[in-house]
Every structure is written in structure tokens, then in C-alpha cells.
Amino acid sequence: MAEKSEKKKRPSRQPMSEQAPEVRRRNFEEVPLGYTPEQAQLEAERCLQCKNPNCVAGCPVSVDIPGFIGLIKEGDFTGSIRNLWSKNSLPAVCGRVCPQEAQCEGVCIVGKKGEPVAIGNLERFAADYERAHGTGELPPKAEPTGKKVAVVGSGPSGLTVAGDLIVKGHDVTVMEAFHKPGGVLVYGIPEFRLPKEIVAQEVNFLERLGVKVENNVVVGRTVDLDELFEEGYDAVYVGVGAGLPRFMNLPGENLIGILSANEYLTRANLMKAYRFPEVDTPIPMGKDVVVLGAGNVAMDSARTAMRLGADRVRVVYRRSREEMPARAAEIHHAEEEGIELFLLTTPTEFVGNDQGRLTGMKCIEMELGEPDESGRRRPVAVAGSEFHMECDLVIVAVGSGANPLLTSDTPDMKLNSWGYIITDPETGKTTKKGVWAGGDIVTGAATVILAMGAGRNAADSIHKYLTLGW
Amino acid sequence: MFKIVKRQEMSDGNVILNEIEAPRIAKKAKPGQFVIMKANEEGERIPLTMADTDPEKGTITVIYMVVGKSTALFKSLKESDGYQDIIGPLGKPTHLEKLGTVVCVGGGTGIAVLHPITRGLKEVGNRVISILGARSKDLLILEDHMRAVSDELHITTDDGSYGRKGFVTDALKDVLEKEDVKLVVAIGPVPMMKFVSKLTEQYNAPTMVSLNPIMVDGTGMCGGCRVTVGGETRFACVDGPEFDGHKVDYDELMKRLQAYCEDEKRCHEDYCRMQGI
């Protein structure tokens, strides 16, 4: 009996304090505020230190989760970050944006009878503590191999490849089309979910390790893949992301006031247009905003619109809440901030005034029918349910496709029928010799951590190639 | 930093030429392609079609008119100053082919973009007739450059201060009446391209225009530059910037170019006040 009641007393999961919804809905500062060292140690104590941990198997880059958590518990925060770095070069990012509930935390034993260990929060703590208090000492690096690797794209998969190969002694150059490195971490994910300073510091960490970062290089235009080999690179990794916005293909879609989520978020995040006119890039300030789509990008867009001063923000989605692809936590945060979900509805036409500016959309109600090939119930229009919805800004967040800029320039690299690069699933090798690919340009739009996992596998394969051959 | 090696004020001083060190772009760029330029950390990304490149010297040349805050900021940069970021070459190059007689029509700073294309068309063996338009004589740019690459050159000014009084379409109509024109290239303000295209349609003369809509990344990622061409949405940055002039929805393009006009006005006025301009 005594033993049983002791078990019941296992401390509950440490909550992470957050900015209050009514405050944060109008600012761009980060929403969750992080753990204190005391909170982190209390949370770390909840870990059972399993011998055969499910959580590690659930992590696409196999972070030694019990290991780094054990070190936090002992108060060895430096040891903890070193442990993390050995498997993950972007812990401050992953601690914030990984879908832990579907990976490590989703399979945590503690979570079977209560709430799982807050693995993501602890990863974030270790990285943030190092940034604030760390010695800045770098992990060890192998002797130079004399081999040169070009990494095309500086998003999560590219940065992972760069981090893995630089410590193995290769000479690594990352090429980024934008004027700032980070890819989707910089242009896509908003400041309030992932402060850009953190991305800059993660990139800086790689630069201190010796990675060269060249901005403003559009591979496929400024230089093509074959020219990289002529310039002396021994291997190339292509991690350019998906990066082709999908639109609804409805009448009136080119009215002023209809933007892709890519454009809206790039203006806000990369160009910092929320500070206009302090910075020179403007962004439409909608008062009555509609976001089409219900994934994480849609949530990011809706929450950005609210922060830019909208009176009303509605997420319009053709299926029901159950089918929304966004993380539950993101939906929860959005609703707390006053964003309305307008479900089982789809637009059929955009309506504007004589200046070509959007004034509203014609909509129709939907109901769920039989499951489709995705296993989700197919939305079907309800006859006679047409109605008009007023709005002055529509953000289209219905996914993205493969951007052909680089791939169309490289005929000997095979693509599938959707335009994504065909690779060996184990190694990331493409059909073009010396070229690997990974992340969204292979899988279609997915998560940061899956892109990093692909980068990890490709880096292992590139290393083998550079030391042993193709 | 991308250093300005030559700066020149043209026209009434509101049109600026910058020759800029950008060796990678200079080596790769072809007529018709554009770059995106950003002056400093807070700057906006501005697309500009290149007026010239010098692969040996490693420089590119752009010519732009000051219309808002960003171009005013560009104008404030002196020789040996530089741009923080230049990205390119972007867009598809002009398809240059020997066709016979071609007409190159340019208006305003569009003449700067037209010049390398005209030169390219001349070099592959076409007979080139050029028509340049400006509001008045002192606003006309690159007359000598265009004369050097044209077999025939006509000039029109709105006020009659130089060449023929009237619009480029007046001169173009005469040429179309007389000649068997295989291609018309028209680059300039959107209304000019619209009226040129309307005219050439009557003569079944294939027409190519170069568009410069609002864009952010220039690599097909944002879709801000979408234009309707032949009833379909195209991205000017990757599918263009050149399109079949007879198929472009110019009215939509003109409206879309006004998307940020209020913001731009406010931003430019603030800047001018601060700079004492």
C-alpha cells in the first residue's frame, strides 16, 4: 500500500509559463517563456531512465533522450547540451517546433498513465541555458579530409548535413537563395514560435565550427549543379524545400488582398514587415482576415494576422476539427488568441471592388461523406448552402508543391510525377552521381525534424562516399 | 557587399545608372534576366531587369527611376558604396533568334531593359527598327546606345520637344503598315505595353513584353508576382519576365501594381522628410 501511494505521488509535468493570450495576441514575442533550472531539474526527475527507451526510437535523429535528461537532473547542463549536440545540431529549434506528441513524447512510458515527460521543453531548456550561460566551447572535429561539400539550401536538413560533415573533417559550404540563412526557420516559422535570433545563433554555431555560408546564391540560376562540381566540390546535398505555393484556382484569386501563406509569412518573418515603416517592406494589414487551410502554416498565418491588428481572424476549412492537420497545441494557442475556426466551409469565388481589391468570398457549406484515399472523410458540398463572407484579406495556406527552379535545370536527376526528387530512402542518393537530396524537396511538405532526419542519413552516406567511394 | 563602381544620373536626374560588382551574376546573366537588390538590413527586395553585364569586369548595370522610398535609398548610394544583397540572374532569358525584321519599342526606363535585348536581336542577324518614346526630350535615355544597335531609329515625345510629337504607337503603326514585321518587343510602362499589344494584334505581329510586377523572393516561392496570361495564372519571376503581349491581362497587372500604393507613399514621404529632400 505504501509503495502504491508513493507511486501516485510522482510529480506532475512541469508547466511552462506563457505570455497571457490577451497580451501575446498583439505582440511578436515568443509565447512560451521557458523553464527555470529548478523547473527543468524537477521535470527531469520524472524520467524513468528506461533501459530500452521508446522515446529514442521515436526520434527521427535518435537523440539520446534519457542521457541528456539524466544530465539535467544532475545539474550538468553543459554535459546535457554536449550530449544533445552529438545527435542534433539544432536543439533550440527542435525543442520548440518538433511535434513531440507524435514522436518521443507520444511513446513515453510515463505518458501511459499520465502526462509524458516534457522532452521538448527540456531540450529547449538545455539549448537556451547554453546560449545564455555556456562556455561556447565547440565539440571536437576530425582532421581535415580535403574533401569539399556544397549544401544547397540552409533550412533544417541542409544545416544538419553541414553540421554532421564539418565535424567529420570535410570542407562544407552552404548556399542560400535568400539574403539570410535558415530557410523555413527564418521565412516560414514566425518570431513568436521561433525567435530569429535563435536561428541566427544556431547558424553561427555551425560557422564557428568552420561551415561557410554563402547567401544570395540561387543554385539553378546563379550557378548550376554541374558547375559546382567544376568548381571543385566533391559532393552536393540538395535541400531546397518544397517552396511552390498552391492556390485554390478559383475565380478572382488575383485580386489585391489574396496572398499565399509563403508570401505573407515571408514578408512578416524574413522581411520583418510587422515593423513597417521602420523597415521598408510592407504587408497588408487586414481587419477582417480569412485563412484558408488548417495546417501549422495556416495557424502561423492566422496568429500573425491577429498580431498585425486584425479585428477578426477566421480559419476557413472544408473538413471538420478532427481532420485539421495542425498540431493540437497550435490550434489551442490560436483559439486562445481569439482566432475563430470556421469549419466545413469552402470558398467558390473571390469577390472584389472596381480597384481590384478583395471584399469577400462566395462560400458553400460542406458535409463529410465517405473516406477518401487519404483515409479522411471526403468533404461534399451541401446543395443550396451558398453564402457570402465578407473579408479584406485572404491568406491561402493549402500546402505547397515542388519548386522546379533547380530540378528543371538538372535533367539527369530523376523526379517523380509530382516533381519531387527521387532518392534512395536509406541514403538520400539521387540518380545523379555525387548528388544527395532530402527534406521537403523529396518528401513534399513535412516537418523540420523529418527533414533533419533525412539530412542525417544523407550526411552518413556522403561521408562514406567521400572516404570509400560511391 | 556589392560595390557600385560607376554611378550616373540620367534624364532629369531622377533616373540613375549603377554599374555594380557582381562577378557571379555577370558571368551567368543573359539579356532579359533580372536581379533582386536590397540596399541594407532594413531594405526592401526590389526586382530590376539588367541593362547590361560585363563578364570580364565582373559587373552588372541597372538603370532605375526613383519612384518611392526604396529607389530613393538606392539613389542616395554613391560610387564605392554598395548594396548589401543582390540576387540573380533570375527569370528566363530572352529567346534570341533570326526572324527578319523586328521592332523594338521602348518607353521610359524600359529602354534600359530593351537595349541588351535589341543588341542581342541585332547580333543574331535581324534587321532592327527601334522606336523610343519619352514625355519630353530631356527624359529620353540611351538614344546613342540604341542607335548603335538599330538599323533604323524613331523617336517620339508626348510634347513634341524631340522627334515626332505623339506616342510610340503612332510611329509603330507606320512601321507596321510598311514592313513585314516578324516580332515586336515592347518594354516600358504597363499602359504603353498594353496599347502596343492592342495595335500589333491588329497586324498579327507577334509581340513580346517584359513585366515587372511586385515580388518578394524572385524564385517562384511567394506567388506575389502572379499575372494572368492567356487566362492562366503565371509567376513572372520564373515563367517570365517576358510573355506574349497579346495574352497578358494588363488591367489586372496595373491594379496589382497598386497593392501597396498607400504604404509606399507614406514610407517615401517619411524618408523625404527625414532626408530633407
Quick: pLDDT tens for B173-208.
999 999 999 999 999 999 999 999 999 999 999 999
Do the Cβ atoms of A403 and B221 come within 8 Å?
yes
Query: What is the mean pLDDT of the segment spanning A332-338?
Result: 96
- Tell which CATH classification among 3.40.50.80, 1.25.40.20, 2.60.40.10, 3.40.50.360 matches the domain B94-209: 3.40.50.80
Of B217, B226, B270, the CB nearest to A277: B270
Residue B252: list chain A partners with CB under 8 A.
Answer: 254, 356
Widest Cα–Cα separation across chain B:
54
Tens digit of pLDDT for each residue in B126-148?
999 999 999 999 999 999 999 99
Q: Provide the shortest C-alpha distance from residue A189 to chain B (in Å).
A: 15
Report whether B42 contacts B17 (CB < 8 A).
Answer: no
Instruction: Establish how many alpha carbons lie within 13 A of residue A273's alpha carbon, considering only the half-sphere containing its beta carbon.
Output: 24
| Residue whose cell numbers read 471538420 | A320
Q: Give the span between the Cα atoms of A44 and B257, in whole angstroms.
A: 55
Q: Give the span between the Cα atoms of A146 and A237, in whole angstroms.
A: 17
- What phi and psi, each to the nearest 5 degrees, are found at residue B129? -110, 125
Residues of chain B within CATH 2.40.30.10 domain(s) are 2-90
- Contacts of residue B267, Cβ cutoff 8 Å, sequence gap at least 6: A276, A277, A280, A282, B68, B69
Tell me which residues of chain B have a C-beta less than 8 Å from any C-beta of chain A.
Answer: 24-25, 28, 38, 42-45, 69-70, 73, 84-90, 216-217, 219-224, 226-228, 233, 238, 252, 255-256, 258-260, 263-264, 266-267, 270
Query: What is the mean pLDDT of the segment spanning A157-172?
Result: 95
Q: Does residue A392 carry a pLDDT above 70?
A: yes
Query: What is the mean pLDDT of the segment spanning A425-448?
Result: 94
Q: Does residue B257 carry a pLDDT above 90?
A: yes
Q: Give the span between the Cα atoms of B87 and B90, in whole angstroms.
A: 8
Q: Give the span between the Cα atoms of A394 and B224, in whole angstroms.
A: 13
Residue A259: list chain B partners with CB under 8 A.
Answer: 223-224
Tens digit of pLDDT for each residue in A74-118?
999 999 999 998 888 899 999 998 989 999 999 999 999 899 999
Query: What is the mean pLDDT of the segment spanning A151-163?
Result: 96
Residue A247: list chain B partners with CB under 8 A.
Answer: 223, 233
Tens digit of pLDDT for each residue in B44-63?
999 999 999 999 999 999 99
Do the Cβ atoms of B222 and A263 come within 8 Å?
yes
Do the Cβ atoms of A245 and B73 come within 8 Å?
no
- Best mutation target among A152, A221, A358, A405 (most B Cβ atoms within 10 Å) is A221
Could you tell me which chain B residue has the CA closest to the CA of A283?
B260
According to DSSP, residue A11 is labeled P
Of A218, A247, A276, the CB nearest to B263: A276
Do the Cβ atoms of B260 and A282 come within 8 Å?
yes
Query: What is the mean pLDDT of the segment spanning A343-369?
Result: 96
Residues of chain B within CATH 3.40.50.80 domain(s) are 94-209
Do the Cβ atoms of B24 and A223 come within 8 Å?
yes
Of B73, B90, B233, the CB nearest to A254: B233
Report whether B158 contacts B170 (CB < 8 A).
Answer: no
Q: Provide the shortest C-alpha distance from residue B82 to chain A (in Å).
A: 15
Predicted pLDDT of residue B158: 93
Please, what is the average pLDDT of chain A?
93
User: What CATH fold (topology level) applies to the domain B2-90?
Assistant: Elongation Factor Tu (Ef-tu); domain 3 (2.40.30)
Query: What is the mean pLDDT of the segment spanning B96-106?
Result: 97
Cβ under 8 Å to B: A residues 210-269: 215-218, 221-223, 243-245, 247, 249, 253-254, 256, 259-260, 262-263, 266-267
Please, what is the average pLDDT of chain B?
94
What ipTM does the predicted assembly reach? Answer: 0.94
Q: Does residue B276 carry a pLDDT above 80?
A: no
- Provide the whole-model pTM: 0.94
pLDDT category of residue A140 using cuts at 50, 70 and 90: confident
CA distances from residue B179 to A107, B84, B194, B205, B244 in whole angstroms, order as listed: 77, 47, 21, 11, 21
